[in-house]
Structure 1
Amino acid sequence: MSSDIVLIADNGVVVQMFYLRMHSYNSSQHDINCDRRFAELIPRMLITWRVFLLLLHGTASKVLHVVWMVPEYYPEYNISASIGTLAMALKRIQTDQLLPDYDHFNITWLDTPCDSQKSIGLLTDHLIKYHTTDVIIGPPCTEAMVPVADLAAYYNVPIFSWVTRQYVLDDKTKYSTLVRSRPPISSLVEMFYAISIRFKWKRAAMVYTDDQRSTRTLAQSIIRKFDTYRQFNLVEEFAMSLNSSHEELRQMMNSIKGMARIIFLIIPHAELRQYMLAFHDQGMTDGDYQFLFTELAVTSVRVYRSELVWKRNDGHDDAARQAFENILIFTFAHVLGNNPNWEAANESYEEIFSGSSLPRPVQPDGHSAFLYDAVVLFAMALNETIAANNNATGTEIFRACVYKLFDVGSLMRNAELY
């Protein structure tokens, strides 16, 4: 069984061509002939590559066209920190024969930074040139995802996200083909709202850090939710700074005392102990007030369950321990704190992309586990859609993803309507 792995620059000039003959299912046994005649004609920094990957099926001859949108260079997420995980997902699809109707992927990588104009421009150029796109994976950041998801909905093409979580993408009547494998901000908001209704809380105050984007975004989402549903009165929001003085904290806490007994804390984890000690100093940790804390960053569950969350050996540990008895912590750490194994990612890269000019993998980032989920989920949804004799449109693929529970190795994740 053979496979062509062809990498093509955006202007159509072949950079590298490989011929791979599989002697057996053991990927270590193969012959590779490499033609690098044109390698020096193209700059290293390229926008689009096309990768053909043969899946080990028998008689199928269909090609699956995938567009993968991810930056080459971006601090928080980039192709080098993601490509090993992508290879793991492709290997899973190959090993488990998740797509028996297809014999290879055509994967096009578009180097899309967090720039809405460049992202939509690159995707539009690709669609005009090549016409056929079966699925779009990414882009990871919200600024680029919004126009891309709009275009995908227009063409009824499925689009899968492994990073974006902002509320702007929650509207499934608009982004009707978008599936997110990572829990969005709104799901945290829903948890806060549900527990407030469950305990019949009617009034609350919110304290959040305004000069940090993640806490400000989450706080604004919660405010919007409570403003929409009037069963609950969010009486005051206090926008604090990371450098707020002790006097500013004291004034804020004295104001809260006369307003509400329920307090939402949307602040960085590193600031939590300082705030709780300040509340303790104001006599607000004796059980009369209930604090609810969450963060978008992922702190290990082990930290929350241990003394590490309050203990510093600075003479204030007894007060901190008492203060933390009055706080409920909401976290996605159980599903967000599992990074892919570096050895497995590197091994999969060598097996799937061996000899290519695609960037070498580095240690997978904290987002890349959801890239694996997104790719495997798409394969399962596509297979189900075909088995039901439905067209593999964006809306049909989206429908097949709703409330789907699937095995991703050591975890079982619910991929419901994100």
Structure 2
Amino acid sequence: MHKQEQGYVWRSSENQSQGVGHVVDLVKNENVDVIFGSPSSRITVPAAHLTSYWNFPMITWIANSFELSDKNLFSTLVRTVGPLSESARLIVTMFNTFNWTKIGNLYLDFGLCLYTAEGIKEEFSAHNLTIMQSIAYHPATVLTRTVMVNYLSIIKQTSRIIYICDENNLRRYMILACELGMCNGEYVFITTYLSAPTEDIWKMNDAFDEQARRAFQHIIYINSAKWTTDEGREAIENFQKEVNEKAALPPWNNDYPLRNNITSTSAEDMYNAAYLYGLWVNYSASNVLDVRDGAAMLAFSKNLSFDGIGGPCDIGMNGDRVPFFWMNQFRGEDTQPEVVAISTDKNRNISITHGFEWYTADGNHPLDEPVCGFFGELCPIPENGI
């Protein structure tokens, strides 16, 4: 490690214009060598356009937009967060595993739901899989019962395997899906989120709990995994404790997380961002490269692997971390979330931990199309009617 004193200058941006302005200030006035951030994709996108224009290095540890995967546009940006859109590659692997070829999409056209949906479109096109229906609705849409039933009814006409994403309305959708006969074991609902599920996602202690409990048995819940081994879990827990202890010291003087045992969901990703930059500083110094050459930093980072806090941090061919995922089902009498499989080999394979549980008549995974087709077209009635 080349010995260099590293300092930092902090700016907090509340919107896109502030973010771009702060980048100008940091580069032109503070003379920084790299931009870390922003946590917000909305702010990162215009800021990363500017750093690309300047060929200035930028690393983000949490901005998750699918748009930021395009390194023809964002030619100096590296991400140590695994974009949730990468779960689309895992969904393709799942389809190959269960011999599925068709999916229907129903999702909120915003944020993480949108990012995954865009990933599904790209991955399905690349692997000759079919999107039968794609219903995306604006965040301002008033989701009355009638509207939601109509969406589900349209999807039901052509899809048995369904990507569904709307964190605030997933429970309502699933209860209505059961009312429409979609909880008979012949349908699978796939949803994706960053954080791991809890029973609170379906259990509201109201009159609909029993319906929701039955409905959520038909969901495969995919979320970003922080670790894959017990050792990784212990390492992250110790690291999070250390972060809280240091946050209570000057100059932060914030002991609230420590007193209330609150853990950061992204501290290890930020650690990985700082570690990756340290690797680049060493490499650029050893090879007499300009540490401020953003395109060179991106090229250095591609296919880079190093040990992160909770396990390996693998940077993909486009300079974004390739995440791994937990696949959860809600199981047992209490319908508790349980990890049933973990993605491996950069989401090209699945490692079964507890096995998937299906509710079909024969206990096997459902088909992605009825034997006779959605409209009976594959089982024509003989002319004699027999």
The reply to whether TM is greater than 0.5 is yes
String of CA shifts for 1:212-268, please: whole Å, max 9, x gaps: x33553365246426854823322233467863334333333333321212111121
Give runs of aligned pairs for residues 383-394 of structure 1, distance below 5 A: 383-388=282-287, 390-392=289-291, 393-394=293-294
Larger % of strand: which?
Answer: 1
String of CA shifts for 1:117-175, please: whole Å, max 9, x gaps: x3333333443346x54221123322332233233233333211022111221111222
Distance in 1 separating the partners of 2:105 and 2:313: 31
* Identity among equivalent pairs (%): 23
Distance in 1 separating the partners of 2:22 and 2:206: 54
String of CA shifts for 1:39-98, please: whole Å, max 9, x gaps: xxxxxxxxxxxxxxxxxxxxxxxxxxxxxxxxxxxxxxxxxxxxxxxxxxxxxxxxxxxx
Q: 2:177 pairs with 279, 287, 303, which one?
A: 279
SS in 1 for 2:8: strand
Bigger shift: residues 277-286 or 148-157: 148-157
Bigger shift: residues 184-193 or 168-177: 184-193
**Is 1:398–2:272 an aligned residue pair?**
no
**Is 1:248–2:153 an aligned residue pair?**
no
Q: 2:156 pairs with 251, 257, 260, which one?
A: 257
Distance in 1 separating the partners of 2:32 and 2:147: 55
Distance in 2 separating the partners of 1:342 and 1:287: 40
Structure 1 residues 223 and 391, CA, compared in 2 at 3 Å: closer, same or farther?
A: same
**Is 1:113–2:14 an aligned residue pair?**
yes
Q: TM-score, structure 2 length as denominator? A: 0.65
Give runs of aligned pairs for residues 325-340 of structure 1, distance below 5 A: 325-334=217-226
Show structure 2 runs of 5+ residues with no match. 258-262, 321-386
Distance in 2 separating the partners of 1:253 and 1:398: 43
Structure 1 residues 101 and 370, CA, compared in 2 at 3 Å: closer, same or farther?
A: same
How many residues are treated as equivalent by the alignment? 304
Aligned partners of 2:174 and 2:212 also within 8 Å: yes
Q: 1:168 pairs with 67, 77, 90, which one?
A: 67
AA at the equivalent of 1:277 = I
Bigger shift: residues 407-416 or 308-317: 308-317
Paired position in structure 2 for 1:234: 131
Distance in 2 separating the partners of 1:129 and 1:317: 57
Q: TM-score, structure 1 length as denominator? A: 0.60
Bigger shift: residues 155-164 or 218-227: 218-227
Give the number of the structure whose alpha-carbon radius of gyration is greater.
1
SS in 1 for 2:10: strand
Give runs of aligned pairs for residues 62-77 of structure 1, distance below 5 A: none
Paired position in structure 2 for 1:294: 192
Paired position in structure 1 for 2:114: 217
Distance in 1 separating the partners of 2:58 and 2:112: 27
Structure 1 residues 267 and 335, CA, compared in 2 at 3 Å: closer, same or farther?
A: farther
How far residue 105 of structure 1 moved from its aligned partner, in angstroms, is 1.8
Q: 2:2 pairs with 85, 97, 100, which one?
A: 100
Give runs of aligned pairs for residues 339-354 of structure 1, distance below 5 A: 344-345=242-243, 347-348=245-246, 354=250
**Is 1:201–2:100 an aligned residue pair?**
yes
Give runs of aligned pairs for residues 360-371 of structure 1, distance below 5 A: 363=257, 365-371=264-270
**Is 1:155–2:54 an aligned residue pair?**
yes
Structure 1 residues 218 and 151, CA, compared in 2 at 3 Å: closer, same or farther?
A: closer
Paired position in structure 1 for 2:28: 128
Distance in 2 separating the partners of 1:109 and 1:314: 45
Distance in 2 separating the partners of 1:230 and 1:332: 23
Paired position in structure 1 for 2:368: none
How far residue 415 of structure 1 moved from its aligned partner, in angstroms, is 3.8
Structure 1 residues 106 and 252, CA, compared in 2 at 3 Å: closer, same or farther?
A: closer
Structure 1 residues 216 and 323, CA, compared in 2 at 3 Å: closer, same or farther?
A: closer
Distance in 1 separating the partners of 2:247 and 2:143: 47
Aligned partners of 2:20 and 2:47 also within 8 Å: yes
Aligned partners of 2:102 and 2:129 also within 8 Å: yes
Bigger shift: residues 220-229 or 188-197: 220-229
